[in-house]
Structures are given as structure tokens and as C-alpha cells.
């Protein structure tokens, strides 16, 4: 009988802990996850049995597929997986993850911050991180995921309210007869 589906956040956390601690078993990883606690509203960590199942899946991956879950280290992680051009964003992510969580980010997180920075070049870590988290933790991104990025509605602070208002005016001018169907959930 198949076990209960694990949420994407915890599945990624297990892979990252397994990559950091290759000899750790399910019970050790469960202990580490409980120390981490309920982060970002994802509920309690899965049971050791579920973690064991996820560990078997992770360890069955090819080594190159496991690499993205390892910790990012500059300049050692640069080159084959993370391009040199991503160095500034990567170092910013390293700094922010250490300040906020006292841990190094995974190569996967660094790559997604860099990719999102290409879509929204003016965004700092705080502006990119909600999008990175959605990408990393969601199996099925909503089809409307790109609309806020396309219209610059990724600004979050009160100081950016004026920019949000301008973007909303632009959207209304472009779509005077109503929003596209997949945009309605974010409009």
C-alpha cells in the first residue's frame, strides 16, 4: 500500500538534509526536521517511515540529479551547475540564508534565485524569495504565475504601492474588455 503523499516542501527538505548528511538515516533526519519546526506554515515534519521512503527515492537518483540539493559553496559550486554570471545573486542568497536561517542554501535555491533575478532584475532577495519558494515547493504552479512578473506586480513594500498602482493601470489599459482567464486569479 502506498503511503500518504508528502507535501513538496517536506520532500525538498528531506532531499536537502540527505544531500548535506549522506549517512543520516530517516530517524536522524526526522530529528533535524523537528528542530527546524513548522516553517512557513507547512505543518509538522513527516514520520520517520515517510522520510525513509523519500530517502530511498533520493538515493535512487543519479549522482548528478542529487547534486542540486547539496549546499552552495562559492566558488566550488560555480561552473558546471551555477554559471559564473550568477555569482552576485548566489552570494546574496548565501548571505541572506545565513542571516535568516543560519544555514547555507542549496544549489537548487541559488539557481532559482538567479533565474528569477533574470525575470525581475530589480528585485532583491525579499522580492525574489516568495517566487522562488513557490517554484521550489509547488508541483503545479498556477498558469497565472507569470502575470505578476510580466507586469511588475512583484513589488511588496508599502513604498512600492505607487509602482503596483501604475502596473494595475497598465494592465487595465491593455485588457479593457477584461483579463485573460488565467489572470483572473491574480488580478
Chain segment 39-69, per-residue pLDDT in tens? 667 788 899 999 999 999 999 999 999 999 9
Contact 5, 49 (CB under 8 A): no
Query: Taking a C-beta distance cutoff of 8 angstroms, is the pair 133, 12 a contact?
Result: no
- Helix, strand, coil abundance in the chain, percent, nearest 5: 60, 0, 35
Residue 80's pLDDT is what?
82
Is the pLDDT at 171 greater than 80, yes or no?
no
pLDDT of residue 3: 63
Integer CA distances (angstroms), 128 to 63, 66, 92, 112, 117, in order:
29, 24, 11, 9, 7
Tell me, what's the pLDDT at 65?
A: 93
pLDDT of residue 121: 86
Euclidean distance between CA atoms 142 and 179, whole angstroms: 16
Average pLDDT, the chain: 83
Contact 126, 146 (CB under 8 A): no
122 cis-preceded (ω within 30 degrees of 0): no
Rounded Cα distance between 187 and 181, Å, is: 10
State pLDDT tens for residues 103-147.
Answer: 899 999 999 999 999 998 888 998 899 889 888 887 667 776 777
Report how far residue 177's alpha carbon sits from residue 114's, in angstroms, rounded to the nearest whole number. 36
Report the pLDDT value the prediction gives residue 106, as an integer from 0 to 100.
Answer: 95
Q: Residue 106, SS3?
A: strand
pTM of the model: 0.78
Amino acid at each position: 500500500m502506498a503511503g500518504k503523499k508528502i507535501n513538496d516542501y517536506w520532500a525538498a527538505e528531506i532531499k536537502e538534509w540527505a544531500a548535506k548528511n549522506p549517512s543520516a538515516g530517516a530517524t536522524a533526519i526526522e530529528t533535524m526536521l523537528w528542530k527546524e519546526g513548522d516553517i512557513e506554515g507547512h505543518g509538522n515534519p513527516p514520520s520517520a517511515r515517510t522520510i525513509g521512503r523519500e530517502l530511498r527515492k533520493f538515493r535512487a537518483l543519479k549522482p548528478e540529479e542529487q547534486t542540486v540539493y547539496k549546499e552552495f559553496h562559492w566558488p566550488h559550486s560555480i561552473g558546471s551547475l551555477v554559471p559564473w554570471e550568477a555569482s552576485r545573486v548566489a552570494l546574496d542568497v548565501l548571505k541572506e540564508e545565513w542571516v535568516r536561517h543560519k544555514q547555507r542554501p542549496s544549489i537548487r535555491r541559488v539557481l532559482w534565485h538567479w533565474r528569477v533575478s533574470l525575470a525581475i532584475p530589480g528585485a532583491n532577495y525579499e522580492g525574489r524569495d516568495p517566487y522562488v519558494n513557490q517554484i521550489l515547493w509547488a508541483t503545479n504552479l498556477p498558469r497565472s504565475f507569470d502575470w505578476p512578473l510580466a507586469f511588475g506586480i512583484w513589488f511588496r513594500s508599502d513604498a512600492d504601492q505607487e509602482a503596483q498602482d501604475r502596473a494595475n493601470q497598465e494592465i487595465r489599459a491593455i485588457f479593457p474588455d477584461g483579463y485573460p482567464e488565467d489572470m483572473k486569479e491574480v488580478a
